[in-house]
Amino acid sequence: MDDCIFCKIANGEIPSSIFYETEDLVAFDDLNPPMPVHCLIVPKAHYANLAADVPGEVFAKLFAAVPVVAHMKGIDESGYRVVINTGKDAGQTVQHLHVHVLGGAPMSERMFKK
């Protein structure tokens, strides 16, 4: 995708804080973190979101990266939240599938409300 910011980050066209990379994905810090730790795991291949006919193996690799990233960020013991915003009502702003990993402090608010 020519005009996709996460494609550009994944292929090194624009700078980011990538701290973990495999053949299939990258992980980097979110620009605008609401929590002490907020990073994104992004497949190198472009899928608009969770519902865009994503092959199961892509999900398998994304989710397998979560505990690795959590360990690298030092939040594997304390716990973390994993979020995938999908579509308008969820507030998805970047139309390239990505997994948010959030932690580093207690999250008291439940997220299942308006």
80-99 mask for ligand AMP (x: CB under 6 A)?
-----x-----xxxx-----
Alpha-carbon distance of 68 to 70, in angstroms, equals: 5
**49 near ligand AMP (CB under 6 A):** no
Q: Which residues are tagged catalytic?
A: 98
Select from 45, 48, 38, 37 the least CA-distant residue to 10: 45
**Closest separation between CB of residue 57 and ligand AMP, Å?**
22
Nearest to 80 by CA among 107, 59, 43, 111: 107
Span from 27-35, 52-60, 64-72, 104-112 in contact with ligand AMP (CB under 6 A): 27-35
Binding site for ligand AMP (CB under 6 A): 5, 16, 30-32, 85, 91-94
